[in-house]
Structure 1
Protein backbone atom coordinates (compact mmCIF):
# COMPACT_ATOMS: atom_id res chain seq x y z
CA UNK A 1 0.00 0.00 0.00
CA UNK A 2 1.43 3.35 -1.03
CA UNK A 3 1.85 5.80 1.83
CA UNK A 4 0.89 9.43 1.61
CA UNK A 5 2.07 11.72 4.40
CA UNK A 6 2.45 15.26 3.04
CA UNK A 7 2.72 17.83 5.79
CA UNK A 8 0.85 21.12 5.51
CA UNK A 9 4.08 23.10 5.73
CA UNK A 10 7.49 22.48 4.09
CA UNK A 11 10.11 20.53 6.05
CA UNK A 12 13.62 21.90 6.60
CA UNK A 13 16.29 19.39 7.64
CA UNK A 14 18.86 21.28 9.72
CA UNK A 15 22.34 19.76 10.02
CA UNK A 16 24.56 19.89 13.08
CA UNK A 17 28.29 20.29 13.71
CA UNK A 18 30.44 19.63 10.63
CA UNK A 19 27.27 19.08 8.63
CA UNK A 20 26.52 20.08 5.06
CA UNK A 21 23.86 19.65 2.38
CA UNK A 22 25.84 18.07 -0.45
CA UNK A 23 29.45 17.29 -1.33
CA UNK A 24 29.64 16.06 -4.90
CA UNK A 25 27.08 13.27 -5.21
CA UNK A 26 26.93 12.68 -1.46
CA UNK A 27 24.11 14.28 0.53
CA UNK A 28 24.12 14.19 4.32
CA UNK A 29 20.31 13.87 4.51
CA UNK A 30 20.02 11.83 1.29
CA UNK A 31 18.00 8.90 2.68
CA UNK A 32 15.86 11.13 4.90
CA UNK A 33 15.08 13.62 2.15
CA UNK A 34 14.24 10.95 -0.41
CA UNK A 35 11.96 9.11 2.01
CA UNK A 36 10.09 12.28 2.96
CA UNK A 37 9.73 13.35 -0.66
CA UNK A 38 8.47 9.89 -1.58
CA UNK A 39 5.45 10.37 0.69
CA UNK A 40 4.64 13.78 -0.78
CA UNK A 41 6.60 16.33 1.23
CA UNK A 42 8.39 19.50 0.19
CA UNK A 43 11.85 19.14 1.75
CA UNK A 44 14.75 21.59 1.95
CA UNK A 45 18.23 21.41 3.48
CA UNK A 46 19.50 24.88 4.48
CA UNK A 47 23.16 25.92 4.27
CA UNK A 48 24.61 26.67 7.73
CA UNK A 49 28.15 27.13 9.01
CA UNK A 50 29.73 23.73 9.67
CA UNK A 51 31.19 25.15 12.89
CA UNK A 52 29.85 28.12 14.85
CA UNK A 53 27.71 29.01 17.84
CA UNK A 54 23.99 28.38 18.06
CA UNK A 55 22.85 31.98 17.57
CA UNK A 56 25.00 32.53 14.47
CA UNK A 57 23.73 29.34 12.89
CA UNK A 58 20.19 30.23 13.99
CA UNK A 59 20.40 33.59 12.22
CA UNK A 60 21.59 31.82 9.06
CA UNK A 61 18.61 29.49 9.36
CA UNK A 62 16.21 32.43 9.70
CA UNK A 63 17.48 33.85 6.41
CA UNK A 64 16.83 30.57 4.64
CA UNK A 65 13.44 30.07 6.23
CA UNK A 66 12.46 33.40 4.70
CA UNK A 67 13.69 32.19 1.30
CA UNK A 68 11.65 28.98 1.56
CA UNK A 69 8.53 30.89 2.57
CA UNK A 70 8.91 33.25 -0.39
CA UNK A 71 9.64 30.43 -2.81
CA UNK A 72 6.80 28.13 -1.74
CA UNK A 73 4.17 30.62 -0.64
CA UNK A 74 3.86 28.73 2.66
CA UNK A 75 3.11 30.59 5.87
CA UNK A 76 5.33 28.44 8.10
CA UNK A 77 7.90 25.65 8.05
CA UNK A 78 8.52 22.48 10.03
CA UNK A 79 12.10 22.34 11.34
CA UNK A 80 13.80 19.01 12.01
CA UNK A 81 17.25 19.54 13.48
CA UNK A 82 19.85 16.84 13.96
CA UNK A 83 22.37 17.32 16.79
CA UNK A 84 23.40 21.00 16.97
CA UNK A 85 20.86 21.65 14.24
CA UNK A 86 18.18 21.26 16.91
CA UNK A 87 19.58 24.30 18.74
CA UNK A 88 19.55 26.41 15.58
CA UNK A 89 15.94 25.33 15.01
CA UNK A 90 15.02 26.24 18.58
CA UNK A 91 16.60 29.67 18.12
CA UNK A 92 14.65 30.31 14.93
CA UNK A 93 11.37 29.27 16.55
CA UNK A 94 12.00 31.43 19.60
CA UNK A 95 12.87 34.51 17.55
CA UNK A 96 10.19 34.17 14.83
CA UNK A 97 7.50 31.81 16.14
CA UNK A 98 5.02 33.01 13.50
CA UNK A 99 7.24 31.46 10.79
CA UNK A 100 7.71 28.07 12.46
CA UNK A 101 5.01 25.44 12.82
CA UNK A 102 7.12 22.87 14.64
CA UNK A 103 10.59 22.10 15.93
CA UNK A 104 11.76 18.50 16.12
CA UNK A 105 15.03 17.68 17.84
CA UNK A 106 16.74 14.50 16.64
CA UNK A 107 19.64 13.54 18.93
CA UNK A 108 19.90 17.18 19.95
CA UNK A 109 22.07 18.31 22.90
CA UNK A 110 19.27 20.36 24.43
CA UNK A 111 20.96 20.40 27.83
CA UNK A 112 24.53 20.25 26.54
CA UNK A 113 26.93 17.44 25.71
CA UNK A 114 29.20 15.77 28.24
CA UNK A 115 31.56 15.00 25.38
CA UNK A 116 31.83 18.74 24.64
CA UNK A 117 32.50 19.34 28.36
CA UNK A 118 35.37 16.87 28.27
CA UNK A 119 36.86 18.36 25.10
CA UNK A 120 36.56 21.89 26.46
CA UNK A 121 38.42 20.94 29.65
CA UNK A 122 41.11 19.22 27.58
CA UNK A 123 41.90 22.50 25.84
CA UNK A 124 43.81 25.27 27.59
CA UNK A 125 42.13 28.63 26.87
CA UNK A 126 44.45 30.98 25.03
CA UNK A 127 47.32 28.47 24.92
CA UNK A 128 48.75 26.30 22.18
CA UNK A 129 46.38 23.30 22.40
CA UNK A 130 43.30 25.50 21.93
CA UNK A 131 44.93 27.42 19.09
CA UNK A 132 45.92 24.19 17.36
CA UNK A 133 42.47 22.66 17.82
CA UNK A 134 40.79 25.82 16.56
CA UNK A 135 43.05 25.94 13.52
CA UNK A 136 42.69 22.27 12.58
CA UNK A 137 38.93 22.08 13.12
CA UNK A 138 38.24 25.37 11.36
CA UNK A 139 40.40 24.35 8.40
CA UNK A 140 38.45 21.11 8.20
CA UNK A 141 35.16 23.03 8.31
CA UNK A 142 36.47 25.39 5.62
CA UNK A 143 37.39 22.35 3.52
CA UNK A 144 33.88 20.94 3.88
CA UNK A 145 32.46 24.35 2.96
CA UNK A 146 34.67 24.49 -0.12
CA UNK A 147 33.51 21.06 -1.25
CA UNK A 148 29.87 21.89 -0.57
CA UNK A 149 30.01 25.33 -2.19
CA UNK A 150 29.22 27.36 0.96
CA UNK A 151 32.53 29.17 1.42
CA UNK A 152 30.88 32.50 2.24
CA UNK A 153 29.75 31.24 5.64
CA UNK A 154 31.94 31.97 8.69
CA UNK A 155 33.50 29.13 10.71
CA UNK A 156 34.63 28.97 14.33
CA UNK A 157 35.35 25.57 15.87
CA UNK A 158 35.97 26.85 19.41
CA UNK A 159 32.75 28.90 19.31
CA UNK A 160 30.91 25.73 18.31
CA UNK A 161 32.52 23.71 21.10
CA UNK A 162 31.74 26.36 23.72
CA UNK A 163 28.14 26.48 22.48
CA UNK A 164 27.71 22.72 22.96
CA UNK A 165 29.03 22.40 26.52
CA UNK A 166 26.63 22.05 29.43
CA UNK A 167 27.49 25.61 30.46
CA UNK A 168 27.14 26.99 26.93
CA UNK A 169 23.78 25.34 26.28
CA UNK A 170 22.66 26.35 29.77
CA UNK A 171 23.23 30.01 28.88
CA UNK A 172 21.42 29.43 25.56
CA UNK A 173 18.51 27.81 27.42
CA UNK A 174 18.21 30.79 29.78
CA UNK A 175 17.44 32.94 26.73
CA UNK A 176 15.46 30.41 24.70
CA UNK A 177 13.68 27.98 27.08
CA UNK A 178 10.79 27.09 24.78
CA UNK A 179 9.97 23.38 24.89
CA UNK A 180 12.40 22.49 27.68
CA UNK A 181 11.27 20.10 30.45
CA UNK A 182 10.99 21.41 34.00
CA UNK A 183 12.41 18.18 35.41
CA UNK A 184 15.44 16.16 34.31
CA UNK A 185 14.33 13.37 32.02
CA UNK A 186 10.79 14.68 31.70
CA UNK A 187 8.74 16.01 28.82
CA UNK A 188 8.63 19.69 27.97
CA UNK A 189 5.64 21.76 26.86
CA UNK A 190 4.31 20.34 23.61
CA UNK A 191 3.34 23.78 22.29
CA UNK A 192 4.78 27.22 23.04
CA UNK A 193 3.83 30.45 21.25
CA UNK A 194 2.03 28.40 18.62
CA UNK A 195 5.09 26.23 17.87
CA UNK A 196 4.88 22.46 18.43
CA UNK A 197 7.96 20.83 19.99
CA UNK A 198 9.04 17.19 19.58
CA UNK A 199 12.17 15.14 20.17
CA UNK A 200 13.60 11.68 19.72
CA UNK A 201 17.05 10.18 20.20
CA UNK A 202 18.88 6.94 20.87
CA UNK A 203 21.35 5.17 23.09
CA UNK A 204 24.24 3.03 21.99
CA UNK A 205 23.41 -0.59 21.27
CA UNK A 206 24.76 -3.02 23.83
CA UNK A 207 28.54 -2.96 23.93
CA UNK A 208 28.66 -6.61 24.96
CA UNK A 209 28.93 -7.54 21.30
CA UNK A 210 31.77 -6.09 19.18
CA UNK A 211 30.63 -3.98 16.25
CA UNK A 212 31.92 -4.01 12.68
CA UNK A 213 30.51 -0.54 12.09
CA UNK A 214 33.43 1.94 12.43
CA UNK A 215 31.10 4.85 13.21
CA UNK A 216 29.38 2.94 15.99
CA UNK A 217 32.80 1.83 17.24
CA UNK A 218 33.90 5.46 17.46
CA UNK A 219 30.71 6.35 19.36
CA UNK A 220 31.37 3.50 21.80
CA UNK A 221 34.82 4.90 22.51
CA UNK A 222 33.46 8.42 23.03
CA UNK A 223 30.76 7.11 25.36
CA UNK A 224 33.43 6.43 27.99
CA UNK A 225 33.74 10.18 28.61
CA UNK A 226 30.17 10.43 29.93
CA UNK A 227 29.74 10.52 33.71
CA UNK A 228 26.19 11.83 34.26
CA UNK A 229 24.66 9.49 31.69
CA UNK A 230 27.35 6.79 31.32
CA UNK A 231 25.07 4.02 30.03
CA UNK A 232 22.45 6.26 28.50
CA UNK A 233 24.03 8.14 25.61
CA UNK A 234 24.61 7.81 21.87
CA UNK A 235 28.33 8.63 22.00
CA UNK A 236 27.78 12.37 21.60
CA UNK A 237 24.61 13.26 23.52
CA UNK A 238 23.05 11.90 26.69
CA UNK A 239 19.56 10.43 26.54
CA UNK A 240 17.89 12.83 28.96
CA UNK A 241 19.93 15.76 27.72
CA UNK A 242 18.16 15.33 24.39
CA UNK A 243 14.64 15.78 25.78
CA UNK A 244 12.53 18.57 24.31
CA UNK A 245 8.78 19.06 24.08
CA UNK A 246 6.87 15.86 23.41
CA UNK A 247 9.48 13.13 23.77
CA UNK A 248 8.56 10.48 21.23
CA UNK A 249 11.28 8.17 22.52
CA UNK A 250 14.85 8.66 23.70
CA UNK A 251 16.19 5.11 23.91
CA UNK A 252 16.10 3.87 20.33
CA UNK A 253 19.02 1.52 19.70
CA UNK A 254 20.94 4.08 17.63
CA UNK A 255 24.29 5.81 17.86
CA UNK A 256 24.48 9.54 17.22
CA UNK A 257 25.04 9.36 13.47
CA UNK A 258 22.83 6.33 12.87
CA UNK A 259 19.79 8.61 13.14
CA UNK A 260 20.77 10.01 9.72
CA UNK A 261 21.24 6.85 7.72
CA UNK A 262 19.97 3.37 7.09
CA UNK A 263 22.19 0.63 8.52
CA UNK A 264 24.29 -1.41 6.10
CA UNK A 265 22.77 -4.59 7.46
CA UNK A 266 19.40 -5.17 9.08
CA UNK A 267 19.67 -6.36 12.68
CA UNK A 268 16.00 -7.10 13.23
CA UNK A 269 16.06 -5.46 16.66
CA UNK A 270 16.95 -1.89 15.71
CA UNK A 271 14.50 0.58 14.19
CA UNK A 272 14.88 1.82 10.65
CA UNK A 273 16.10 5.38 11.38
CA UNK A 274 14.69 6.71 8.11
CA UNK A 275 11.28 5.25 8.86
CA UNK A 276 11.23 7.37 12.03
CA UNK A 277 11.22 10.50 9.88
CA UNK A 278 8.36 9.22 7.73
CA UNK A 279 6.37 8.31 10.83
CA UNK A 280 7.04 11.79 12.14
CA UNK A 281 5.79 13.36 8.90
CA UNK A 282 2.56 11.43 9.47
CA UNK A 283 2.51 12.75 13.04
CA UNK A 284 2.93 16.33 11.84
CA UNK A 285 0.25 15.86 9.21
CA UNK A 286 -2.20 14.51 11.80
CA UNK A 287 -1.48 17.59 13.94
CA UNK A 288 -2.32 19.84 11.00
CA UNK A 289 1.28 20.90 10.51
Structure 2
Protein backbone atom coordinates (compact mmCIF):
# COMPACT_ATOMS: atom_id res chain seq x y z
CA UNK A 1 0.00 0.00 0.00
CA UNK A 2 2.78 2.42 0.90
CA UNK A 3 4.43 1.86 -2.50
CA UNK A 4 1.21 2.81 -4.28
CA UNK A 5 0.89 6.01 -2.24
CA UNK A 6 4.52 6.81 -2.77
CA UNK A 7 4.23 6.37 -6.52
CA UNK A 8 1.35 8.84 -6.58
CA UNK A 9 3.35 11.25 -4.45
CA UNK A 10 6.36 11.03 -6.74
CA UNK A 11 4.20 11.48 -9.80
CA UNK A 12 2.80 14.70 -8.37
CA UNK A 13 6.30 15.72 -7.35
CA UNK A 14 7.56 15.24 -10.89
CA UNK A 15 5.04 17.73 -12.20
CA UNK A 16 6.02 20.33 -9.63
CA UNK A 17 9.70 19.78 -10.35
CA UNK A 18 9.20 20.20 -14.09
CA UNK A 19 7.31 23.43 -13.43
CA UNK A 20 10.02 24.65 -11.08
CA UNK A 21 12.78 23.81 -13.54
CA UNK A 22 10.95 25.67 -16.30
CA UNK A 23 11.38 28.83 -14.23
CA UNK A 24 14.75 27.99 -12.69
CA UNK A 25 16.90 30.98 -11.85
CA UNK A 26 19.94 29.25 -13.33
CA UNK A 27 21.26 25.91 -14.55
CA UNK A 28 24.07 25.83 -11.99
CA UNK A 29 22.70 22.67 -10.32
CA UNK A 30 21.19 21.08 -13.42
CA UNK A 31 22.67 17.58 -13.27
CA UNK A 32 22.25 15.02 -16.03
CA UNK A 33 20.58 12.59 -13.65
CA UNK A 34 17.97 13.30 -10.96
CA UNK A 35 19.08 13.73 -7.35
CA UNK A 36 17.58 11.66 -4.53
CA UNK A 37 17.99 12.85 -0.93
CA UNK A 38 18.02 10.27 1.88
CA UNK A 39 17.45 11.43 5.47
CA UNK A 40 19.17 10.22 8.60
CA UNK A 41 18.16 8.83 11.98
CA UNK A 42 14.79 10.15 13.24
CA UNK A 43 14.37 11.65 9.77
CA UNK A 44 11.32 12.46 7.73
CA UNK A 45 10.28 14.05 4.43
CA UNK A 46 7.77 16.74 5.47
CA UNK A 47 6.41 16.85 9.02
CA UNK A 48 3.06 18.39 10.01
CA UNK A 49 2.57 19.46 6.40
CA UNK A 50 5.23 22.17 6.41
CA UNK A 51 8.43 21.30 8.29
CA UNK A 52 10.90 19.85 5.80
CA UNK A 53 13.83 17.70 6.90
CA UNK A 54 16.03 19.39 4.31
CA UNK A 55 15.05 22.95 5.24
CA UNK A 56 15.15 25.08 2.09
CA UNK A 57 17.68 22.84 0.35
CA UNK A 58 15.53 21.06 -2.29
CA UNK A 59 13.86 24.33 -3.30
CA UNK A 60 17.19 26.07 -3.69
CA UNK A 61 18.53 23.24 -5.85
CA UNK A 62 15.42 23.30 -8.04
CA UNK A 63 15.70 27.07 -8.42
CA UNK A 64 19.15 26.40 -9.83
CA UNK A 65 18.00 23.79 -12.32
CA UNK A 66 18.21 20.63 -10.24
CA UNK A 67 15.71 17.78 -10.42
CA UNK A 68 15.44 16.71 -6.81
CA UNK A 69 13.43 14.07 -4.95
CA UNK A 70 13.13 13.68 -1.18
CA UNK A 71 12.34 10.30 0.34
CA UNK A 72 11.13 8.82 3.61
CA UNK A 73 12.23 5.58 5.23
CA UNK A 74 12.06 4.31 8.81
CA UNK A 75 13.48 6.90 11.17
CA UNK A 76 14.92 4.08 13.27
CA UNK A 77 15.83 0.75 11.68
CA UNK A 78 18.83 -1.26 10.56
CA UNK A 79 21.01 0.02 7.72
CA UNK A 80 19.87 -2.85 5.51
CA UNK A 81 16.16 -2.34 6.21
CA UNK A 82 16.41 1.39 5.52
CA UNK A 83 18.44 0.66 2.41
CA UNK A 84 15.76 -1.70 1.08
CA UNK A 85 13.07 0.91 1.66
CA UNK A 86 15.11 3.53 -0.17
CA UNK A 87 15.87 1.12 -3.00
CA UNK A 88 12.15 0.79 -3.78
CA UNK A 89 11.77 4.56 -3.93
CA UNK A 90 14.85 5.01 -6.12
CA UNK A 91 13.45 2.48 -8.59
CA UNK A 92 10.23 4.48 -8.67
CA UNK A 93 12.13 7.70 -9.38
CA UNK A 94 13.94 5.95 -12.23
CA UNK A 95 10.65 4.69 -13.65
CA UNK A 96 8.88 8.04 -13.38
CA UNK A 97 11.71 10.16 -14.79
CA UNK A 98 12.77 7.68 -17.46
CA UNK A 99 16.39 8.33 -16.54
CA UNK A 100 18.91 5.50 -16.49
CA UNK A 101 20.67 6.59 -13.30
CA UNK A 102 20.34 8.76 -10.19
CA UNK A 103 22.66 10.79 -7.97
CA UNK A 104 22.23 9.83 -4.31
CA UNK A 105 22.91 12.11 -1.34
CA UNK A 106 22.58 10.80 2.21
CA UNK A 107 22.75 12.70 5.49
CA UNK A 108 23.85 10.86 8.65
CA UNK A 109 22.40 7.31 8.65
CA UNK A 110 21.10 8.11 5.18
CA UNK A 111 24.70 7.70 4.03
CA UNK A 112 24.43 3.99 4.78
CA UNK A 113 21.13 3.86 2.88
CA UNK A 114 22.52 5.37 -0.32
CA UNK A 115 25.59 3.14 -0.17
CA UNK A 116 23.30 0.11 0.11
CA UNK A 117 21.35 1.20 -2.97
CA UNK A 118 24.55 1.86 -4.93
CA UNK A 119 25.80 -1.62 -4.11
CA UNK A 120 22.47 -3.19 -5.09
CA UNK A 121 22.04 -1.41 -8.45
CA UNK A 122 25.40 0.15 -9.38
CA UNK A 123 24.47 0.43 -13.05
CA UNK A 124 21.60 2.73 -12.10
CA UNK A 125 23.52 4.98 -9.71
CA UNK A 126 25.81 7.73 -10.99
CA UNK A 127 27.14 9.01 -7.67
CA UNK A 128 26.92 8.70 -3.90
CA UNK A 129 27.52 11.64 -1.57
CA UNK A 130 27.72 11.32 2.19
CA UNK A 131 26.82 14.40 4.24
CA UNK A 132 28.09 14.02 7.82
CA UNK A 133 27.56 10.28 7.58
CA UNK A 134 29.11 7.99 10.25
CA UNK A 135 30.85 5.63 7.84
CA UNK A 136 32.87 4.06 10.65
CA UNK A 137 30.28 4.45 13.38
CA UNK A 138 29.21 6.93 16.04
CA UNK A 139 30.54 6.93 19.65
CA UNK A 140 27.12 7.79 21.11
CA UNK A 141 25.69 4.60 19.58
CA UNK A 142 28.54 2.63 21.17
CA UNK A 143 27.79 4.14 24.58
CA UNK A 144 24.10 3.20 24.41
CA UNK A 145 24.59 -0.25 22.88
CA UNK A 146 27.24 -1.13 25.47
CA UNK A 147 25.56 0.72 28.33
CA UNK A 148 23.91 -2.22 30.11
CA UNK A 149 20.81 -1.08 32.07
CA UNK A 150 21.33 2.60 31.30
CA UNK A 151 21.71 1.68 27.64
CA UNK A 152 18.45 -0.27 27.74
CA UNK A 153 16.64 2.74 29.17
CA UNK A 154 18.19 5.00 26.55
CA UNK A 155 17.10 2.62 23.81
CA UNK A 156 13.52 2.56 25.12
CA UNK A 157 13.42 6.36 25.21
CA UNK A 158 14.66 6.57 21.62
CA UNK A 159 12.13 3.91 20.59
CA UNK A 160 9.28 6.00 21.98
CA UNK A 161 10.55 9.19 20.39
CA UNK A 162 11.07 7.44 17.07
CA UNK A 163 7.53 6.06 17.10
CA UNK A 164 6.08 9.50 17.79
CA UNK A 165 8.11 11.16 15.04
CA UNK A 166 7.20 8.40 12.60
CA UNK A 167 3.51 8.96 13.31
CA UNK A 168 3.45 12.75 12.99
CA UNK A 169 5.64 12.56 9.87
CA UNK A 170 3.16 10.29 8.10
CA UNK A 171 5.26 7.16 8.35
CA UNK A 172 3.11 5.21 10.80
CA UNK A 173 3.20 2.14 8.53
CA UNK A 174 7.01 2.05 8.62
CA UNK A 175 8.74 -0.23 11.16
CA UNK A 176 10.66 1.41 14.02
CA UNK A 177 13.53 -0.22 15.89
CA UNK A 178 15.84 1.91 18.01
CA UNK A 179 17.92 -1.13 18.92
CA UNK A 180 18.58 -2.11 15.31
CA UNK A 181 19.37 1.48 14.42
CA UNK A 182 21.86 1.89 17.27
CA UNK A 183 23.55 -1.43 16.56
CA UNK A 184 23.90 -0.44 12.90
CA UNK A 185 25.45 2.89 13.85
CA UNK A 186 27.84 1.44 16.44
CA UNK A 187 31.49 0.90 15.55
CA UNK A 188 30.98 -2.85 15.32
CA UNK A 189 27.76 -2.55 13.32
CA UNK A 190 29.29 -0.08 10.90
CA UNK A 191 32.36 -2.30 10.49
CA UNK A 192 30.09 -5.22 9.60
CA UNK A 193 28.18 -3.06 7.12
CA UNK A 194 31.43 -1.82 5.59
CA UNK A 195 32.63 -5.40 5.16
CA UNK A 196 29.53 -6.14 3.07
CA UNK A 197 29.52 -2.80 1.24
CA UNK A 198 33.14 -1.56 1.11
CA UNK A 199 32.69 0.72 -1.91
CA UNK A 200 34.30 4.09 -1.20
CA UNK A 201 35.24 3.23 2.40
CA UNK A 202 38.78 4.37 3.35
CA UNK A 203 41.21 1.59 4.21
CA UNK A 204 43.08 3.83 6.64
CA UNK A 205 41.83 5.51 9.79
CA UNK A 206 41.47 8.99 8.32
CA UNK A 207 42.17 8.65 4.62
CA UNK A 208 40.06 8.73 1.49
CA UNK A 209 38.30 5.81 -0.15
CA UNK A 210 38.15 4.83 -3.80
CA UNK A 211 36.79 7.71 -5.84
CA UNK A 212 34.92 5.40 -8.21
CA UNK A 213 33.70 1.81 -7.84
CA UNK A 214 31.61 -0.12 -10.37
CA UNK A 215 31.02 3.11 -12.28
CA UNK A 216 29.70 4.96 -9.20
CA UNK A 217 31.55 8.04 -7.96
CA UNK A 218 31.83 8.57 -4.20
CA UNK A 219 32.09 11.89 -2.31
CA UNK A 220 31.81 13.06 1.29
CA UNK A 221 31.50 16.17 3.45
CA UNK A 222 31.82 16.72 7.20
CA UNK A 223 31.88 19.30 9.97
CA UNK A 224 33.84 19.85 13.17
CA UNK A 225 31.71 22.25 15.25
CA UNK A 226 28.96 21.65 17.78
CA UNK A 227 27.74 25.13 18.78
CA UNK A 228 27.31 27.33 15.72
CA UNK A 229 24.47 29.72 16.57
CA UNK A 230 23.42 30.86 20.06
CA UNK A 231 19.79 30.98 18.95
CA UNK A 232 19.73 27.34 17.81
CA UNK A 233 18.07 25.20 20.49
CA UNK A 234 19.68 22.02 19.14
CA UNK A 235 23.23 23.29 19.56
CA UNK A 236 23.18 22.40 23.26
CA UNK A 237 22.27 18.73 22.59
CA UNK A 238 25.05 18.63 19.98
CA UNK A 239 27.52 19.87 22.58
CA UNK A 240 26.34 17.25 25.06
CA UNK A 241 26.51 14.36 22.60
CA UNK A 242 30.02 15.43 21.63
CA UNK A 243 31.12 14.32 25.12
CA UNK A 244 30.95 10.74 23.82
CA UNK A 245 34.06 11.39 21.75
CA UNK A 246 37.61 10.92 22.94
CA UNK A 247 39.24 14.10 24.21
CA UNK A 248 40.53 16.18 21.31
CA UNK A 249 38.70 14.18 18.60
CA UNK A 250 37.17 16.60 16.12
CA UNK A 251 33.47 16.02 15.52
CA UNK A 252 30.15 17.63 14.61
CA UNK A 253 28.43 16.52 17.80
CA UNK A 254 27.42 13.13 16.40
CA UNK A 255 30.00 12.10 13.79
CA UNK A 256 33.77 12.23 13.97
CA UNK A 257 35.74 14.11 11.32
CA UNK A 258 37.46 10.94 10.08
CA UNK A 259 34.36 8.74 10.38
CA UNK A 260 32.60 10.94 7.80
CA UNK A 261 35.18 10.14 5.12
CA UNK A 262 33.87 8.30 2.05
CA UNK A 263 35.40 8.30 -1.42
CA UNK A 264 36.69 11.73 -2.38
CA UNK A 265 36.61 13.98 0.68
CA UNK A 266 35.55 17.40 -0.56
CA UNK A 267 35.87 18.98 2.88
CA UNK A 268 35.65 17.60 6.41
CA UNK A 269 36.05 20.67 8.63
CA UNK A 270 33.07 22.92 7.97
CA UNK A 271 32.00 25.18 10.84
CA UNK A 272 28.81 23.13 11.07
CA UNK A 273 27.30 20.64 13.47
CA UNK A 274 25.35 17.53 12.57
CA UNK A 275 21.99 19.29 12.39
CA UNK A 276 23.36 22.14 10.29
CA UNK A 277 23.78 19.68 7.41
CA UNK A 278 19.96 19.56 7.30
CA UNK A 279 19.94 23.39 7.44
CA UNK A 280 18.09 23.19 10.76
CA UNK A 281 16.88 24.54 13.06
CA UNK A 282 15.19 26.67 10.35
CA UNK A 283 18.41 27.87 8.80
CA UNK A 284 20.19 28.94 12.01
CA UNK A 285 23.92 28.35 11.53
CA UNK A 286 27.36 29.89 11.83
CA UNK A 287 28.04 33.15 10.06
CA UNK A 288 29.63 32.62 6.67
CA UNK A 289 28.45 29.01 6.33
CA UNK A 290 25.39 28.18 4.22
CA UNK A 291 24.39 24.50 3.85
CA UNK A 292 22.42 25.35 0.71
CA UNK A 293 25.63 26.56 -0.92
CA UNK A 294 27.32 23.26 -0.09
CA UNK A 295 24.59 21.15 -1.68
CA UNK A 296 24.33 23.49 -4.65
CA UNK A 297 28.08 23.30 -5.15
CA UNK A 298 28.01 19.51 -5.05
CA UNK A 299 25.34 19.36 -7.75
CA UNK A 300 27.43 21.71 -9.86
CA UNK A 301 30.39 19.37 -9.30
CA UNK A 302 28.28 16.43 -10.47
CA UNK A 303 27.04 18.43 -13.45
CA UNK A 304 30.60 19.26 -14.51
CA UNK A 305 31.49 15.57 -14.20
CA UNK A 306 28.73 14.68 -16.66
CA UNK A 307 26.51 13.22 -13.96
Q: TM-score, normalised by structure 1?
A: 0.91
1:33 match: 58
Q: C-alpha distance in 2, partners of 1:267/1:26?
A: 21
2:144/2:155 contact within 8 Å kept: no
SS in 1 for 2:56: helix
What RMSD in Å do the two structures reach over aligned CA positions?
A: 2.0
Determine whether 1:3 maps to 2:26. yes
The change in CA–CA distance for 1:265 and 1:157 in structure 2 (over 3 A counts) is: closer
SS in 2 for 1:271: coil
Alignment of 1:155-170 (within 5 A): 155-170=176-191
Moved more, 19-28 or 136-145: 136-145
1:260/1:274 contact within 8 Å kept: no
**Alpha-carbon deviation of 1:212?**
4.1
1:137 match: 158
Determine whether 1:280 maps to 2:305. no
Structure 1 residues not aligned, in runs of 5+: none
Structure 2 residues not aligned, in runs of 5+: 1-24
1:8/1:288 contact within 8 Å kept: yes
Q: C-alpha distance in 1, partners of 2:60/2:148?
A: 41
1:193 match: 214
Q: C-alpha distance in 1, partners of 2:192/2:185?
A: 10
Q: C-alpha distance in 1, partners of 2:195/2:151?
A: 27
Q: C-alpha distance in 2, partners of 1:61/1:16?
A: 12
Determine whether 1:224 maps to 2:246. no
1:68 match: 93
2:275 to 257, 271, 278: 257
1:215 to 215, 234, 247: 234
1:204/1:253 contact within 8 Å kept: yes
SS in 2 for 1:49: coil
User: Per-residue displacement from partner, 1:138-189 (whole Å, max 9, x unpaired)?
Assistant: 2322222221222211110010000000000001001100001121211111
2:94/2:100 contact within 8 Å kept: yes
The change in CA–CA distance for 1:204 and 1:62 in structure 2 (over 3 A counts) is: same
**Alpha-carbon deviation of 1:134?**
4.0
2:14 match: none
Moved more, 91-100 or 194-203: 91-100
1:224/1:230 contact within 8 Å kept: no
User: Per-residue displacement from partner, 1:250-276 (whole Å, max 9, x unpaired)?
Assistant: 0001011011116756754x4211110
Moved more, 172-181 or 211-220: 211-220
Alignment of 1:62-101 (within 5 A): 62-101=87-126
**Alpha-carbon deviation of 1:105?**
0.1
1:12 to 30, 36, 54: 36
Q: C-alpha distance in 2, partners of 1:130/1:219?
A: 19
Q: C-alpha distance in 1, partners of 2:197/2:229?
A: 40
